[in-house]
Amino acid sequence: MKKLIMALSVFMLVGCSGGGETTTTVCTGNISGIEIETTFEANGDQVSTQVSINRTDLSALGVTEEDLQPTLDLMGETYEGIAGLSYDYKFEGETLVETITVDYNEADMDVLEENGIVDFGGQDAAIKYISLEDSIEAMEAMGMTCK
């Protein structure tokens, strides 16, 4: 479940250049029973912040809050010390609501990559950033709608 949540929540793709006006793009969809809303703030093609809110119906997954608690706590502990990254969750009845925020202006891309949050395929750190265009393309390829 942990890998599924991260794979659906934080899409990290590399681009080549940034610049331009600040835009907001919201992508929504349901993937494997998880309602996902990801908001990208970008300056040109370079994403500056990304907020993903995932809503999971526990009964549909056949798990309880108690079943997930250790995994969720571990995720929180894992991400706690990473600059620019925050992870929070709460239960609303039978729904798990997770919020993952990445501020790419504060984050160290090498640290994000070392922790498996992004994958730049060995590219030089000097040119690493998250491409809005590539992120939208990846989200839409998974069946999400972006506006």
Look at residue 125 in the predicted model and tell me its pLDDT.
56
pLDDT of 34 strictly over 50: yes
Task: Classify 110 as helix, strand or coil.
Answer: helix
pLDDT of 4 strictly over 80: no
Residues with Cβ < 8 Å from 92, sequence gap 6 or more? none
pLDDT digits (tens, 9 = 90+) for 48-75: 999 999 999 998 888 999 999 999 999 8
Confidence band of 143 (pLDDT split at 50, 70, 90): very high
pTM for this model (two decimals): 0.82
Structural domains of the chain, with CATH: 2-146 (3.30.1830.10)
Confidence band of 11 (pLDDT split at 50, 70, 90): very low
**Whole-number Å distance between alpha carbons of 139 and 12:** 11
Confidence band of 118 (pLDDT split at 50, 70, 90): confident
pLDDT of 12 strictly over 60: no
